[in-house]
Chains A and B, each alone.
Chain A
Amino acid sequence: MADRVETDPAGRDRIRRMRTPSANRMRRMARWIDFAGWDVTALAAAWRGARPFPHVIVDQLLSDGQMDELRVGMAAEPHWPDRGELQDFMASGPHLQCEILRSLLCDLGGAEGLECVAALTGKGLRSVEMRSYVYLAGGRLLPHADWREGVGRQVAFALYLSHPGACRGGELELFECTVENGEIVATASAAIIEHLPGRLVLFDVSPTSLHQVREVMEGYRLSVAGWFT
């Protein structure tokens, strides 16, 4: 029985891992991501050694054809403006409607995806949630940490789907934090990660894993992002 996407009471898509009573379990084959091709040992070492906090980059995750297909999925997915203290972007709802994006979510949250990400991060992971994002010129997500008390987020991810050359700006920026008495008192830019098409970034979630999406100066930025919990 294949893993499937379900909606929790809060309206968020979750992957439910379905298990057959048979000892010979049928695992859903990942449609988008070749997890078997990941060098988990090397990725785990990169994760542990990354600064300013654990993170890892996996490039060329998707073929050009797959990215085109996912962009079609994004175009079909409804997005709404979201503008507030930190953010200015277009975002999908918590419950993805497009089958293409839901199948990508199944890949990430399926048995193989969870095991792979768990192995390289050293964390016990049970589920994943994901939304789709479009940043237009002026769009950004100002510095913040994704950690929330009681929510269970452990690993954040972003998969970039912009067309090559479609965007100037919009990089993921990671910050080094100085903490005194439990408060961040100083920050410094420590890493700037380009949102290359087909790049997957995984990074640790903690109260001090401060990061931002820098302002898009020109063009547009497409991505799907979320958390493993």
Chain B
Amino acid sequence: MITPGLESEAALAPLRAWWQGANVPVLILPDGLLPEAATRLRAEIAPRLSRYEVADRGRWWWDRHSAHAELFERLGALGSLLIGSSLRLVAARWLRFGHGDYALLKGDDGRTSEPGVELTVDFSEAATGEADVVYLGAGPGDLWAVPQQPGGIVLCDRQRAPYRYERYLTHRVGEAEVHRLRLTLLSDR
């Protein structure tokens, strides 16, 4: 499911070193999920999604209950290797956005003051050119916009970027849909 070689110490050690020293809370691993795995996930999750609509929080389709043991374990291990400490999974969200959908700051349920990482996997079929995930810090100028990229794995230190919204999808995306798996992983104590 994960791109071969990505989970090796040789691949992750330089990323870990860079991220720990960088002044950005977000790390992007492009092409981390294999396209065929993404296709399977979209098919598996589709019948389990339900609609969420609260206008001042957001509009999307989601599943908060389905588990995928192998994928969750491997992503959790990936996160642990990258931040250099053991992580436990506390929440998983399967999300789908289409034209007219969005998630606002008020709809962010991943906010936490505990150490850990928010890991998001994009299992969309294509890039839409929209639907950026925008993380915000406490200070002016603390804004990190993560483009929507199929197969991308994004890790974010939510202690340093406590606010998140996901941009509205305009009519330009047509029938395209954005699929995301979002894991909240907190440090074991």
Partner among A85, A210, A215 whose Cβ is within 8 Å of the Cβ of B100 = A215
A143 to B102, CA, bound (A): 11
What count of chain B residues pass the 8 Å CB interface test? 14
Q: Is the CB of B54 within 8 A of A142?
A: no
Interfacial residues of chain B within 104-147, with CB under 8 A of chain A in the complex? 104-105, 134
Which of B53, B105, B171 is in CB contact (< 8 Å) with A187?
A: B53
B171 and A217 within 8 A (CB): yes
- Residues of B near A85 (CB, < 8 A) are 104-105, 134, 165
A-chain residues with CB within 8 Å of residue B56 when the two chains form the complex: 143-145, 184, 187, 210
- Shortest Cβ gap from A88 to chain B (Å): 8
How long is the Cα–Cα vector from A175 to B100 in the complex, in angstroms? 16
Q: Is A212 an interface residue (CB 8 A)?
A: yes
Distance A143 CA – B53 CA, assembled complex (angstroms): 11
| CA of A217 to CA of B165, assembled, Å | 22
Residues of A within 8 A of B172 (CB): 138
A138 nearest in chain B by CB position: B170
* Chain A min CB distance to B131 (Å): 13
Check: B55 CB closer than 8 A to any chain A CB.
yes
- Which A residues are CB-close (under 8 A) to B53? 187
Please tell me the number of chain A residues within 8 Å of chain B, measured between CB atoms: 20
Whether A175 lies near B171 (C-beta < 8 A) is no
A186 (CB) vs chain B CBs: closest residue: B54
Residues in B whose Cβ lies below 8 Å from that of A212:
55
How far apart sit A144 and B56, CA to CA, in the bound complex (Å)? 6
Q: Which residues of B sit under 8 angstroms from A138, Cβ to Cβ?
A: 170-172
State whether the Cβ of B94 lies closer than 8 Å to any Cβ in chain A: no
Contacts of A143 in B (CB 8 A): 55-56
Smallest CB gap from B106: residue in A: A184
Which residue of A has the minimal Cβ distance to B172?
Answer: A138
Give A145 to B53 CA distance when docked, in angstroms. Answer: 17
| Chain B residue contacts of A185, Cβ below 8 A | 54
A140 at the interface (CB under 8 A from B): yes
The residues in B between 144 and 189 inclusive whose CB is less than 8 angstroms from any CB of A are 165, 168, 170-172
**Interface set, chain A 86-118, CB cutoff 8 A to B:** 86, 88
Q: Which B residues lie within 8 Å of A215 (CB)?
A: 100, 168, 170-171
Q: A175-B55, A186-B54 are in contact. List 15 more A-B contacts (CB 8 A).
A: A85-B104, A85-B105, A85-B134, A88-B168, A138-B172, A140-B168, A142-B104, A143-B55, A143-B56, A185-B54, A187-B53, A210-B56, A212-B55, A215-B100, A215-B171
Pull 12 A–B residue pairs with CB atoms less than 8 Å apart, ordered by A. A85-B165, A86-B104, A88-B168, A138-B171, A138-B172, A140-B170, A184-B54, A184-B56, A187-B56, A210-B56, A215-B168, A215-B171
The interface of chain A, by Cβ under 8 A from chain B, is 85-86, 88, 137-138, 140, 142-145, 175, 184-187, 189, 210, 212, 215, 217
Closest 7 CB pairs of A and B: A143-B55, A187-B55, A138-B170, A85-B165, A143-B56, A175-B55, A217-B171
